[in-house]
Amino acid sequence: MSFPVWMLLAFALWTVLLLLFTIGIYRWTRILTGRVEIKAFRADNVQGDNWYSRAMRAHANCIENLPVFGAIVFALYASNLSGGLIDILAAVIVLARIGQSITHVAFTQTNTVAFIRFIFFFAQLACFIGLAALVVRHAL
């Protein structure tokens, strides 16, 4: 399996772990202790602690970007592209996603924290564009 495919798998696993260890724990501890009913958690009306709302958004960010990364990794795979630069860009995407998620969930959002989150997001975008450019260059 190629390194970018491993990184895609890591991104997907991070998305699941983020769900389990933030949203999942928050909800199930409240349900199992009888503090709320299972029907209390509605997608259209996020309630709860501030960090829980941020965890919901961080998980949604992962879900939104996973197909983008998946499409790029598929294009790399279909083009039979590999190499050190590709591996580095794929690893940066995953590490920046983890950094962005942790920053989103763990810290009260100030301008500084939001800027740090943006840097992590921008790194991912730059790597997405870089990988896509390598695929296009190879195809031409």
Q: What gap in Å lies between CA 127 and CA 76, rounded to an integer?
A: 13
Spans in the chain with pLDDT lower than 50: none
Closest of 116, 134, 129, 120 to residue 14, by C-alpha:
120
Q: How many CB atoms lie under 10 A from the CB of residue 88?
A: 13
3-class secondary structure, 42: strand
pLDDT at residue 41, rounded to an integer:
79
Residue % of the chain over a pLDDT of 70: 100
pLDDT at residue 36, rounded to an integer:
86
pLDDT at residue 82, rounded to an integer:
94
Q: What gap in Å lies between CA 91 and CA 11, rounded to an integer?
A: 10
pLDDT at residue 122, rounded to an integer:
98
Q: Which residues, including other chains, have CB under 8 Å from residue 54's CB and lie 6 or more apart?
A: 104, 105, 109
Q: Are 73 and 8 in contact (CB under 8 A)?
A: yes
pLDDT at residue 92, rounded to an integer:
98
Q: Are 132 and 72 in contact (CB under 8 A)?
A: yes
pLDDT at residue 134, rounded to an integer:
97
- 57-58-61 Cα angle (round to 5): 85
